[in-house]
C-alpha cells in the first residue's frame, strides 16, 4: 500500500511539474504541488510552492490553511497560527479553516472553544470522512481520547473503506480495552 501511494504521489508530482512548465503562474498547480510534496515528506520544498500560490492568488482561505499545515510540520507554530487566523478572516465557513481554529483553541487550552470549532467543521463538511479523521487526530494530539474515538468512529461510519481511519479507530479501541472491536 505504501508503494502504491508513493507511486501515485510520484505520478502526481511529475504531472504537476510538467503543467508548471507551460503555466508557471498557476496558483492552483503550485498549491496542489505543495500538498503533494507535504504528503511525501518534503515540507520545506512544499513551503515554497505554498508561498507562490498565495502570492499569485491570496483569496482562497484554503491557501493559508494549507500553508499553516506545512508550517506546523516544519515546527513553526506561530506562522501556522498567523495563517489560520488569516484564513478565518477570508472564509470562516470553510471546514479546513475550522480545523485550524480548533488547533489554535487546543494550543490555548480552550477545550470548549475547540469543541465548538470541531462541531462547526462537521456541520460544514457533513459527509467528509477526512475532516472527521483530521479532527480526531487533533483531539488525540491534545490527549482528548474520547472525542478522538468518536471522530474516528464517525470517519469509518461515513467511509467504511477508509483504512487510515480504521487503523486509528482500532488503536483507540485497544487503548480503552475493547480488544474485539480493535480486531
Which pLDDT does position 3 carry in this prediction? 32
pLDDT, tens digit, for every residue of 125-182? 999 999 999 999 999 999 999 999 999 999 999 999 999 999 999 999 999 999 999 9
- Mean pLDDT within 50-55: 98
pLDDT tier at 17, thresholds 50, 70, 90: very high
Q: What is the pTM of this model?
A: 0.84
23: left (phi over 0), alpha (psi -120 to 50) or beta: beta
- The C-alpha cell that represents 53 in the structure block: 500560490
DSSP letter, residue 25:
T
Amino acid at each position: 500500500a505504501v508503494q502504491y501511494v508513493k507511486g501515485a504521489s510520484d505520478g502526481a508530482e511529475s504531472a504537476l511539474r510538467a503543467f508548471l512548465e507551460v503555466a508557471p503562474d498557476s496558483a492552483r498547480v503550485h498549491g496542489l504541488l505543495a500538498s503533494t510534496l507535504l504528503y511525501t515528506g518534503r515540507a520545506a520544498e512544499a513551503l515554497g510552492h505554498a508561498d507562490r500560490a498565495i502570492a499569485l492568488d491570496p483569496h482562497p482561505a484554503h491557501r493559508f490553511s494549507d500553508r499553516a499545515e506545512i508550517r506546523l510540520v516544519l515546527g513553526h507554530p506561530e506562522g501556522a497560527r498567523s495563517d489560520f487566523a488569516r484564513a478565518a478572516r477570508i472564509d470562516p465557513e470553510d471546514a479546513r479553516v475550522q480545523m485550524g481554529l480548533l488547533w489554535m483553541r487546543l494550543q490555548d487550552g480552550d477545550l470548549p472553544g475547540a469543541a465548538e470549532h470541531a462541531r462547526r467543521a462537521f456541520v460544514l463538511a457533513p459527509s467528509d470522512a477526512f475532516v472527521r479523521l483530521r479532527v480526531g487526530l487533533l483531539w488525540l494530539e491534545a490527549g482528548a481520547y474520547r472525542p478522538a474515538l468518536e471522530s474516528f468512529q464517525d470517519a469509518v461510519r461515513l467511509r467504511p473503506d477508509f483504512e487510515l481511519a480504521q487503523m486509528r479507530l482500532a488503536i483507540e479501541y485497544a487503548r480503552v480495552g475493547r480488544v474485539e472491536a480493535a480486531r
